[in-house]
Amino acid sequence: MADRALPLPVPPALRRLAWLLPPAAGALAAGGFPPVALWPLTLFGLALLVALLARAPGPGRAALCGWLWGVGHFSLGNGWIATAFTYQSNMPAALGPVAVVLLALYLAVFPAAAAALAVAFARGRPTALVPAFAAAWILSEWLRGWLFTGFPWNPLAVAALGGPERAGLAQVLPWTGTYALSGLVALLAALWWRGWSLRVARPGLALLLVAVPLATFRLPQLTPPDPPGRLPFTLVQPGIPQDELDDPARFEAQFATAARLTRAARPAARRLVLWPESGLPDYLREGYPAWFYAATTYRGDPVAARARLGRVIGPGGLLLTGAVDLVVERGRAVAARNVVTVVDAGGTIRGSYAKAHLVPYGEYLPLRAWLTPLGLSRLVPGDFDFAAGPGPRTLALGPWGRAGVQICYEIVFSGEVIDRADRPDFLFNPSNDGWFGAAGPPQHLAQARLRAIEEGVPVLRATTNGISAVIDANGLIRHSLPRPIAGRIDGFVPVAHAPTPFARFGNRLALVWAAALVLCSMLALWRARG
């Protein structure tokens, strides 16, 4: 039989609405992400895209189809971003949906590029289109992860996760990494389409191609539970509503809540205490202009503020808390840093980490010198931007272990969360997810699970208002605190695994998988010519 696709019957009444099918399919595919988390929707939405690409007359039409698909996909998947505008007085809430769509118009460029590349390479051969589509998707997600600082939120790999106590298909992450797993999801969806297209000519093969993805996504948990660790921890979720977080009149009450949740019934020989991003309004370092301390810091004195923290965590405690440092030049503050500061029971700073992946338009204003005259400086509150830190580093905490830190959405950047020359025992991911409504926090948590599996290290998430969680190195959620309660988790830090292949080679693995899929597509083209 010639390697050609059977045309899909399209009723004449629907042809005039055909342009609505790609964005509808893209929105359907977003249903595989939390909070819906129905992976068949992702496979079906992608399979519809491949079916449309198989009918495209050339790469240009394929690019348009992929772009429309992406607009629907990212508009629904990133809809939680609109919620952030309701908490920022300088940004009208009505701009939230506009911002979501504008972002989707940009992000849709990446599936458009994948669609055009796959169609150009496959040259009208359906069997070649299947691996070509998967390879192109790997490259497009990899580009989305770093181009213009990157926004790799919600890779297709998220849909491959099982429930909280099962990693599902995502168990292959140590050998693939996130971008290649996304390519595998795209491959399985393309197999669904190919099975449909062969339903008449080769029904047995068609049934097999439909069954393989179904069985693969139901993969049972293959790794045994990890043994318990030995480092005790207390993880605090203070339950602060986002609209109260930055109110100075509430700072002391917020601190009292965090302190109450932190204090131990009995002093421990050692204990790690984890507070979230935005968990502390105090400036903890000395040397800043005096009025900064007077406005926010306990007793206007950073030494007193640190001593108070030491009393809260108690003897044997070591606190990792979100805070803000200032960059001071010639006696004036010129920038800020979003940091995690380590404070011991004596009130001494034992180390810190500064966030490296900052949020454009949230923590800094790109092209500020150009946009400020246009009145756009109000998109970012404050008189100056946040400054980026140097990148992943491991904090040596002595008997409290070795901690890697990724603040808030830094955790979504595959291959960029760990210092590979100095591997940590665990990753601490403090975050303030209160900006992002109901859908953003579970999506954020899912992506933290991907990092745990591919790197082979546990991840501990402390958030202001949920979802806080302890994730072991298999990506399983050991403990969690839902939104929007105040609470604490006590336990032992899960053990890390030996370095995974991904931990050794990073995203070079994704490029190897992409190359292998390209070879499969070339083989299909060669066989079709014969």
Q: What is the DSSP string of 191-217?
A: HHHHHHHTTTT-HHHHHHHHHHHHHHH
Active-site residue among 141, 363, 408, 416? 408
pLDDT-derived band at 84 (thresholds 50, 70, 90) equals confident
Average predicted confidence (pLDDT) for the chain: 90
pLDDT at residue 198, as a whole number: 85
CB hemisphere CA count around 359 (13 angstroms): 19
**Residue 25 amino acid letter:** A
Q: Which of 240-244, 292-296, 358-362 has the lowest mean pLDDT?
A: 358-362
Catalytic residue among 141, 277, 363, 454, which? Answer: 277
Strand order in the sheet with 402-405: 394-396, 402-405, 426-431, 459-463, 468-471, 477-481
Average pLDDT, integer, range 360-371: 71
Say if CB 118 and CB 131 are below 8 A apart.
Answer: no
With cut-offs at 50, 70 and 90, classify the pLDDT of residue 218. Answer: confident
Structure token digits, residue 441: 């926090």
Q: What percent of the chain has pLDDT over 70?
A: 92
pLDDT in tens, 150-197: 999 999 999 999 888 899 999 999 999 999 999 999 999 999 999 988
Question: Which helix (H) or strand (E) segment is 262 a member of?
Answer: helix 251-262
Measured CA to CA, the distance from residue 55 to residue 44 in angstroms comes to 17
Distance in angstroms (rounded) separating the CA atoms of residues 457 and 469: 14
Which DSSP letter does residue 1 get? -
Q: What is the pTM of this model?
A: 0.92
**Rounded distance between C-alpha atoms, residue 390 and residue 337, angstroms:** 11
Give 364's DSSP letter: B
Known catalytic residue: 277? yes
Q: In this predicted model, which residue has the larger pLDDT, 143 or 335?
A: 143
- The structural domains of the chain, ordered by start, are 15-223+507-529 (no CATH), 232-496 (3.60.110.10)
Q: Encoding tokens for residue 93?
A: 């809430």
Backbone angles phi, psi at 365, to 5 degrees: -105, 110
Q: Which residue has the higher pLDDT, 445 or 204?
A: 445
Q: Which two tokens stand for residue 516?
A: 């292998």
Please name which of 199, 210, 241 lies closest in space to residue 43, comparing C-alpha atoms: 210
In 3-state terms, what secondary structure has residue 468?
Answer: strand
pLDDT band at 242 (very low <50, low <70, confident <90, very high): confident
Q: Using the 8-state DSSP alphabet, how is residue 67 labeled?
A: H
- Is residue 91 classed as helix, strand or coil in its secondary structure? coil
User: Is residue 253 exposed (0-12), middle (13-18) or buried (19+ Cβ within 10 Å)?
Assistant: exposed
- List 65, 141, 355, 455, catalytic entry: 355
d(CA 294, CA 30): 47
Residue 315 has pLDDT above 80, yes or no: yes
Segment 136-160 shows an average pLDDT of 95
Longest dimension (CA), the chain: 82
Spatial contact of 45 and 21, defined as CB atoms under 8 Å apart: no
Residues 314, 316, 320: CA angle, nearest 5 degrees: 80
Cα torsion 256, 262, 266, 268: sign: negative
344-362 residue pLDDT tens = 999 999 999 999 998 887 7
> What ranges in 457-507 are assigned the alpha helix state H?
501-505
* H or E segment and range at residue 525: helix 508-529
Q: Which tokens is 58 given?
A: 């050339």
Query: The tokens 């509150």 sit on which residue?
Result: 381
pLDDT level of residue 246 (50, 70, 90 thresholds): confident
Average pLDDT of the segment spanning 125-150: 95
Weakest-pLDDT range from 110-124, 183-197, 269-283, 379-393: 379-393
Select the more confidently predicted residue: 265 or 447: 447
Helix 126-144 and helix 39-55, axial crossing angle in degrees, nearest 10 = 120
pLDDT grade for 49, boundaries at 50, 70 and 90? very high
Neighbours of 18 (CB within 10 A): 11
Distance CA 152, CA 345 (A): 38
Tokens of 80: 């939680």
Least confident of 6-15, 86-95, 144-153: 6-15
